[in-house]
Amino acid sequence: MSATGEAFANPQPGQAFHEMYSFWVVVVHVDKAHVIVMEASPPCTLPDDGKLRGFETHDDFRRAYSYQGGKSGYWVRLSPKPVDVSGWSPVLR
């Protein structure tokens, strides 16, 4: 399994995904059922210009960024550099 596939299988806060560096997805919260991400396009002054998007299940999260429901990979790739989201809790309110 690729690093991107592994990250989608077990999302963690701070993981960042990108689509050719023109669209970013950063995981900001994960619990047993939900995944909350922030999406942004350049210049990406996150969290200021990001848009929160919540998923009811981890499967919903995977499907949102995959080709053919996850059967053919993902259209975003895991960034090798995580993002520090520790100070972002006010944006989740």
- Rounded Cα distance between 18 and 16, Å, is 7
Q: Is residue 87 part of a domain?
A: no
What pLDDT is recorded for position 22? 84
What pLDDT is recorded for position 46? 85
pTM score, whole prediction: 0.85
What pLDDT is recorded for position 69? 60
Q: Is residue 90 part of a domain?
A: no
pLDDT by residue for the chain (93 residues), tens digit each? Answer: 689 999 999 999 999 999 987 899 999 999 999 999 999 998 888 888 899 999 999 999 999 999 876 567 899 999 998 999 988 876 666
Residues of the domain holding 63:
3-80
Q: Is residue 88 part of a domain?
A: no
- Rounded Cα distance between 85 and 13, Å, is 7
- CA 16 remoteness from chain centre: 6
What pLDDT is recorded for position 70? 59
- Rounded Cα distance between 87 and 77, Å, is 24
Q: What domain count does the chain have?
A: 1
Q: Is residue 93 part of a domain?
A: no
Query: If we measure between CA atoms, which residue out of 42, 45, 47, 43 comes closest to residue 27?
Result: 47
- Rounded Cα distance between 16 and 65, Å, is 13
